[in-house]
């Protein structure tokens, strides 16, 4: 279990002292995480920065090359965190939000120990690297140009092999499953249409029955009135 804290910061780089501290922080972060810039710059709601003081546990089952999910307090809540994230302000001199410093080697190792399919994004342990993903076989929307994405590769962004092609057996099974799924979907669609028509018929029958009952009542009422006239 990898447990860590995030470090929050706020600098006003219009001030020389803050500018030096910020430049030093940026240089150190780029070296530590081997990144060129902040991973994420966003506008965020006020107050969220306070939540970053919690202890976080890395979710090692679903990682990315520059970010990861966390679990907290017996897996009740989770957050998506980046190695380093900075808030957008209209005042460009204000630099604020958070970064992760401790346990970076363990976090990097955890990311290196995972790999994923580039089509369905299912993740696997590193032993499945460069093998064929079976989870997306038969996917409804997969086309031939997507086949290259089904090779399991590292979590590095755009790491897929554009020249990769699955085995003929995989493609054959994929097309069969895809056709099977399409037929099942068409059957379910037609069943839904039948159910809708049956409901409409049932509703119309009830509506007609109600009208007949109403008309019969009106007829009986008129008959009663007619009898009164017959007596006169």
Secondary structure element (H or E) that encloses residue 10, with its range: strand 6-12
User: Mind listing the pLDDT tens digit for each residue in 3-29?
Assistant: 777 888 899 999 999 999 999 998 888
Q: Which residue has the higher pLDDT, 52 or 121?
A: 121
Answer yes or no: is pLDDT of 51 > 90: no
Q: How far apart are CA 96 and CA 7, in angstroms?
A: 11
Tell me the whole-structure pTM to 2 decimals: 0.65
Q: How far apart are CA 103 and CA 2, in angstroms?
A: 7
What's the mean pLDDT when you consider all of the chain? Answer: 83
User: What pLDDT does residue 42 have?
Assistant: 58
Q: Considering Cα of 147, then 152, then 154, then 155, what sign does the dihedral take? A: positive
Neighbours of 179 (CB within 10 A): 11
Among 92, 89, 93, 111, residue whose Cα is nearest residue 35:
111
Phi–psi pair at 56, nearest 5 degrees: -115, 150
Residues 6+ apart with CB under 8 A from 3: 55, 56, 57, 58, 103
Q: How far apart are CA 71 and CA 56, in angstroms?
A: 6
């Amino acid at each position: 279990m990898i447990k860590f804290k995030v470090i929050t910061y706020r600098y006003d780089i219009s001030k020389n002292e803050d500018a030096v501290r910020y430049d030093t922080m940026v240089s150190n972060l780029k070296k530590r995480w081997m990144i060129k810039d902040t991973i994420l710059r966003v506008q965020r709601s006020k107050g969220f920065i306070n939540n970053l003081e919690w202890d976080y546990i890395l979710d090692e089952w679903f990682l990315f090359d520059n970010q990861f999910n966390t679990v907290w307090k017996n897996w009740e809540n989770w957050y998506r965190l980046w190695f380093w994230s900075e808030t957008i302000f209209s005042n460009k001199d204000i630099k604020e939000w958070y970064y992760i410093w401790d346990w970076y080697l363990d976090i990097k190792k955890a990311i290196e120990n995972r790999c994923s399919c580039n089509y369905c994004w299912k993740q696997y342990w590193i032993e499945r690297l460069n093998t064929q993903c079976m989870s997306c076989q038969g996917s409804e929307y997969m086309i031939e140009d997507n086949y290259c994405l089904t090779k399991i590769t590292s979590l590095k962004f755009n790491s897929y092999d554009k020249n990769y092609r699955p085995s003929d057996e995989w493609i054959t099974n994929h097309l069969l499953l895809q056709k099977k799924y399409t037929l099942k979907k068409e059957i379910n669609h037609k069943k839904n249409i039948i159910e809708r028509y049956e409901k409409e018929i049932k509703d119309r029958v009830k509506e007609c029955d109600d009208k007949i009952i109403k008309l019969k009542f009106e007829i009986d009422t008129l008959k009663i009135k007619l009898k009164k006239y017959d007596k006169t």
